[in-house]
A and B are shown apart, each in its own frame.
Chain A
Amino acid sequence: GQNIDQPTEMTATEGAIVQINCTYQTSGFNGLFWYQQHAGEAPTFLSYNVLDGLEEKGRFSSFLSRSKGYSYLLLKELQMKDSASYLCAVRDQDYKLSFGAGTTVTVRA
Chain B
Amino acid sequence: IAGITQAPTSQILAAGRRMTLRCTQDMRHNAMYWYRQDLGLGLRLIHYSNTAGTTGKGEVPDGYSVSRANTDDFPLTLASAVPSQTSVYFCASSALAGGPETQYFGPGTRLLVL
Binding site for B on A (CB under 8 A): 1, 30-31, 33, 41-45, 48, 50, 87, 89, 91, 94-102
Q: Is B31's beta carbon under 8 Å from chain A?
A: yes
Q: Contact check, B102 vs A33: say whether CB atoms are below 8 A apart.
A: yes
Leading 4 A-B pairs by shortest Cβ distance? A95-B97, A42-B105, A45-B102, A101-B42
Query: Could you show 14 A-B contacts with beta carbons less than 8 Å apart?
Result: A42-B90, A42-B105, A43-B90, A45-B104, A87-B42, A94-B56, A97-B33, A97-B103, A98-B59, A99-B35, A99-B44, A100-B42, A101-B41, A101-B42
* Secondary structure class of chain A's binding surface, majority of residues: loop
Residue among A42, A48, A87, A100 with the highest chain B CB neighbour number at 10 A: A42
Q: A-facing mask of B82-103, CB < 8 A → 1, else 0?
A: 0000000010000001101011
Given contacts A31-B100, A99-B43, A102-B42, 4 further A-B contacts (CB under 8 A): A33-B103, A43-B105, A94-B56, A95-B97
Q: Is B74's beta carbon under 8 Å from chain A?
A: no
Q: Interface residues of B, CB < 8 Å — how many?
A: 25
- Complex Cα distance, B104 from A91, in Å, reads 15
- Complex Cα distance, B108 from A45, in Å, reads 16
- Complex Cα distance, B100 from A30, in Å, reads 10
User: Nearest Cβ distance between residue A93 and chain B, in whole angstroms?
Assistant: 9
Q: Contact check, B40 vs A101: say whether CB atoms are below 8 A apart.
A: yes
Provided the pairs A42-B90, A43-B43, A87-B43 are in contact, do residues A95 and B31 lie with their beta carbons within 8 angstroms? yes
With a CB–CB cut-off of 8 A, which chain B residues contact A31?
100
With a CB–CB cut-off of 8 A, which chain A residues contact B102?
33, 45, 48
With a CB–CB cut-off of 8 A, which chain A residues contact B33?
97
Residue among A33, A98, A100 with the highest chain B CB neighbour number at 10 A: A98
User: Nearest Cβ distance between residue B89 and chain A, in whole angstroms?
Assistant: 11
Closest to A33 in B: B102
- Complex Cα distance, B55 from A48, in Å, reads 25
- Complex Cα distance, B59 from A41, in Å, reads 23
User: Nearest Cβ distance between residue B53 and chain A, in whole angstroms?
Assistant: 17
With a CB–CB cut-off of 8 A, which chain A residues contact B31?
95
